[in-house]
Amino acid sequence: MTEKKLLHIVTGPTASGKTDHAIELALKYHCPIISADSRQVYKELDIAVAKPSKNQLATVKHYFIDHVSIHEEFNTGLYTRQARELINDLFNTHQQLIVCGGTGLYIKSLIHGLDALPGKDDALRKELSDLLESDGLSALQNILKSLNSEKFEAMDHQNPQRLIRAIEIEKSGQPADIKVPAFAHEFVIKYDVIELQRDVLYDRINRRVDKMFEDGLEKEAFDLQAYQHLNALQTVGYSEWWPYFKGECTIDVVKDKIKQHTRNYAKRQVTWFKHQLE
RNA sequence: GGUCGGAUGGCCGAGUGGCUAGGCUCAGCUCUGCAAAAGCUGCUACAGCGGUUCGAAUCCGCUUCCGACCU
């Protein structure tokens, strides 16, 4: 009898040791790793996003690492579609696959799919964020209220980003975006969520940031500052440098902020995994 | 020894008689195409003691600590 195919999902907060754990598993099962990390996909980002080392990447085949340029569009929808196609393909030749990463939404939508909603509309987003700038949140709230008051009431209408997306969906009137492909094989999902005590995790984060500084994070950030407006650079480990490069703060402040923001991020991840997975 | 300042929650910081300043940290949380993003909620403190007052972080006195200046 043939064994059931197995999809391992290795996740957990940043700096919890996902990468090493996934590689261990991959070597054991002789299978590749499918990354689920919204920042490690970018070729130009390296130290700050704690990519697997060159050595690790040479040892085990990784997908979705160095996958696109920071100048290209990438988001949950694209990830979901591409990752499902990839998994469908890889399961033809593998019994086991490993998904590894800390981007909760990527994992959730990979497993549960996304409704066939319209994709993003850059022109509309620009228009709406300009409106937000000039007229404030209530302007966006009023637009959505007039388009779909039920939806407005149901959602978190204090959140400009979600308000914009909701209006985008209502306004587009376009046929829904390409549907997410279905899984082609039957498989069992095994969640492997790494949990660490808060103080242990925070200590690991602090030490990892120190290591990033030793490894040349300043230069990496310096070389990327021209692209600070890009979504890919809205990332802990980069944005903290911009004031420093303008002479507005000391490097110690940069380091402390990166540590702090990484801790905040890890905390949000923990909340997500606790409530959104399974 | 003397004079004058200051002492506010984990940190910063406003407030000069009367309803919870605010910011940050921290904690809890939300989550279907920006997710390392965006947003929500919580944390009632005024150095100590005594006094004035219906009522004091705010006024008065003493004590302690810190700072500046004078001898």
At residue A45, the pLDDT reads 97
Torsion angle, alpha carbons of A36, A40, A42, A48, to 10: 150
Report the alpha-carbon distance of residue A75 to residue A80 in Å, rounded: 9
- Distance in Å from B13's C1' to A14's CA comes to 33
Q: Name the nt closest to A119 by C-alpha to C1'.
A: B33
- Distance in Å from B28's C1' to A96's CA comes to 37
At residue A193, the pLDDT reads 95
Does the C-beta of A158 come within 7 A of strand B?
Answer: yes
Does the C-beta of A14 come within 7 A of strand B?
Answer: yes
Q: Name the nt closest to A238 by C-alpha to C1'.
A: B36
pLDDT in tens, A143-188: 999 999 998 998 988 999 999 999 999 887 666 666 889 999 999 9
At residue A134, the pLDDT reads 87
At residue A1, the pLDDT reads 55
Residues 163-222 of A with CB under 7 A from strand B: 164-165, 169, 177-178, 180, 198
Report the alpha-carbon distance of residue A25 to residue A129 in Å, rounded: 44
Does the C-beta of A228 come within 7 A of strand B?
Answer: no
Q: SS3 for A18?
A: helix
At residue A176, the pLDDT reads 63
Nucleotides of B under 7 A from a protein CB: 25-40
At residue A2, the pLDDT reads 64
At residue A95, the pLDDT reads 96
At residue A121, the pLDDT reads 83
Q: Which residues of chain A have pLDDT under 50?
A: none
Find the helix packing angle between A76-90 and A104-112, rounded to 10°. 60
Please compute, for residue A100, the number of CA atoms within 13 A of its CA located in the half-sphere on the CB side. Answer: 28
Indicate the residue type of A118: P
- Distance in Å from B62's C1' to A132's CA comes to 58
Q: What is the ipTM of this complex?
A: 0.91
Nearest to A270 by CA among A7, A9, A16: A16
Question: How many angstroms from the chain centroid is the CA of residue A21?
Answer: 19
Does the C-beta of A235 come within 7 A of strand B?
Answer: yes
pTM: 0.91
Does the C-beta of A104 come within 7 A of strand B?
Answer: yes
- Distance in Å from B20's C1' to A149's CA comes to 33
pLDDT in tens, A115-127: 888 878 888 999 9
